Amino acid sequence: MSASQLTITQQAAALRSREVSAVELAGAALAHVEAHDSRLNAYLTVTADAARQQAAAADRRLREDGASASPLCGVPVAIKDVLCIDGVETTAGSKILKGFVPPYTATSVQRLLDAGAVVVGKTNCDEFAMGSSNENSAYGPAGNPWDVERVPGGSSGGSAAAVASGGVAYSLGSDTGGSIRQPAALCGVAGFKPTYGRVSRYGLIAFASSLDQVGPFAHSVRDCATVFATIGGHDPLDSTSEASPVEDPLASLDAGVRGMRFGVPKEYFGAGVEPGVRDRVEAAMRVIESLGGSLEEVSLPSTDVALSTYYIIAPAECSSNLARMDGVRFGHRVDASSLTDMYLRTRDEGFGPEVKRRIMLGNYALSSGYYDAYYKKAQQVRTLVAREFESVFTKVDALVCPTSPIVAFRRGERSDPLAMYACDTMTIPVNLAGLPGISVPCGFVDSLPVGLQFIAPRLEDAKLLRVAYAYEQATEWHEMHAPMVEATA
């Protein structure tokens, strides 16, 4: 296994023992992009020069005071292209932002840079994070490292593929309705969505502001906890940032699950779950019992309307957020004879079909005469979804269920929007309620990864990571590597 395929923990140890330098790690990560990204298309922008400079600075920092340096110091990372970096083109996977170079850096990224992280590049994603397959990117779909003809999931498909392919130990993505957890499941890596407000959204190009959350992909739960310990915490630049202190996610990571109660939502095991996925998740639940956890069936009755609720609230918020994409101040612009014509032609050329679909849905839901019937009603149902979770969490410590009802599918197999939206049935309710959720590998169906999802009460991110870590350490699924990794090891 090459140096770039090690976990954060392993790379940090190798850096401190001088087995490898940060410059060498950056070189290995960039070489991986050069060798594989023509097939994988995981990156939209590669920041090679900046990465080498950051790596050289990390080496100096480690030489001068390695004992106090962050575990992330000198470790390469990939960043989803919805997170702004000062001086680096940021497109959100859309033609309308082609050429946009932000003059500021997202707080989550800045905290990584302050810790000495080395940014390799910006990763591919569904346009404005709207999609579950990465097929909606204006710059072509990303491939799944287990089978490049299959989707990596979305919208953070490039970030998941960058980790699963062995190029970087971790990456950042965003999760609005499952866009970290679902691609993590389909690519066979860990993907963590923190409690809403736990990680700053400043510098994140907004899709749906009340749902978006930044989080990490990694090869292990410990690595996810390490990244969260760095990027989490209050940010005065984000008005939705949670003010209460973040519990150290590493302090209780090894505490296990003996005596903990796990709820199994019966609505998450319906007809849409593939038999193979169901079998792997049920096997995982037996592992949890063997570790001393107990299982009991619980009910979340509003699950069947959560998907519809989401597809009113999220498009409504996106139609408002994307109104600023008009070609006047930044990004793509079509010259025209009038201002109105410029607006219309710019947005027609700049936005893809899925984004246009959601903008129209959102404008309709917010329009006069329909606001109360759709948007207001959806917000009421959202409150009901959150209350059902709260009620269940008075009985159990965490929930366990599939992350995705299916494994990675071939490109083009789910061209029907409704079939695509159904991929997020088990992830969307978590965003509606603002809860933390994590996906970890739990087996394979036809050589394709299956994801196991854990869900915890709001602000109990440390407990969630502890639970996922206990399961992960009792199995070997997280140690399985995609064929693309094995071919270059």
- Is 457 among the domain residues? no
Residue indicated by tokens 């609005």: 176
- Is 200 among the domain residues? yes
Q: Rounded to whole angstroms, how far apart are CA atoms 369 and 233?
A: 41
Q: Rounded to whole angstroms, how far apart are CA atoms 309 and 375?
A: 9
- Is 285 among the domain residues? no
What residues form DSSP beta bridges with 150? 410
CATH of the domain at 41: 3.90.1300.10
pLDDT value of residue 331: 86
Q: Is the pTM of this model over 0.85?
A: yes
146 Ramachandran zone, left/alpha/beta (phi>0; psi -120 to 50) = alpha
pLDDT value of residue 327: 86
| CA dihedral over 352, 358, 360, 366, signed as positive or negative | negative
Nearest of 431, 422, 427 to residue 402 by alpha carbon: 427
Contact 319, 362 (CB under 8 A): yes
- Is 298 among the domain residues? no
pLDDT value of residue 66: 87
Listed in sequence order, the residues at least 6 apart from 150 whose beta carbon sits closer than 8 Å to its beta carbon are 143, 144, 186, 408, 409, 410, 411, 448
Region 134-157 average pLDDT:
97
CA distances from 229 to 51, 223, 251, 262, 461 (A): 22, 10, 10, 25, 11
Q: What total of structural domains would you count in the chain? A: 1
Q: Rounded to whole angstroms, how far apart are CA atoms 308 and 56?
A: 50
H and E: helices and strands count for the chain = 16, 11
Read off the pLDDT of residues 297-354 as tens digits, 9 standing for 90 and up. Answer: 999 999 999 999 999 999 999 999 999 998 888 888 999 999 999 999 999 999 999 9
- Is 325 among the domain residues? no
What residues form DSSP beta bridges with 298? 265
Read off the pLDDT of residues 388-414 as tens digits, 9 standing for 90 and up. Answer: 999 999 999 999 999 999 999 999 998
401 Ramachandran zone, left/alpha/beta (phi>0; psi -120 to 50) = beta
pLDDT value of residue 417: 80
Which two tokens mark 298?
């619980």
- Is 345 among the domain residues? no
**Residue 283 pLDDT > 90:** yes
Nearest of 99, 79, 26, 68 to residue 332 by alpha carbon: 99
pLDDT band at 3 (very low <50, low <70, confident <90, very high): low
Angle between helices 275-290 and 461-473 (to 10 degrees): 100
- Is 412 among the domain residues? no
**Residues known to be catalytic:** 80, 155, 179
The length of the chain is: 489
Q: Rounded to whole angstroms, how far apart are CA atoms 96 and 98?
A: 6
pLDDT value of residue 410: 96
**Residue 4 pLDDT > 80:** no
Which two tokens mark 306?
């959560």
Region 107-132 average pLDDT:
98
Nearest of 327, 487, 430, 417 to residue 135 by alpha carbon: 417
**Residue 486 pLDDT > 80:** no
Contact 448, 408 (CB under 8 A): yes
- Is 405 among the domain residues? no
Q: Rounded to whole angstroms, how far apart are CA atoms 462 and 202?
A: 23
Structure-model confidence comparison of residues 313 and 488, the more confident one: 313
Contact 298, 267 (CB under 8 A): no
Q: Rounded to whole angstroms, how far apart are CA atoms 416 and 439?
A: 26
- Half-sphere exposure in the Cβ direction for 39 (13 Å, CA): 12
Q: Rounded to whole angstroms, how far apart are CA atoms 409 and 437?
A: 23
Q: Rounded to whole angstroms, how far apart are CA atoms 118 and 123?
A: 14
Indicate the residue type of 441.
Answer: P
10 Å Cβ neighbour count for 338? 8
The boundaries of the domain holding residue 470 are: 3-261+465-486
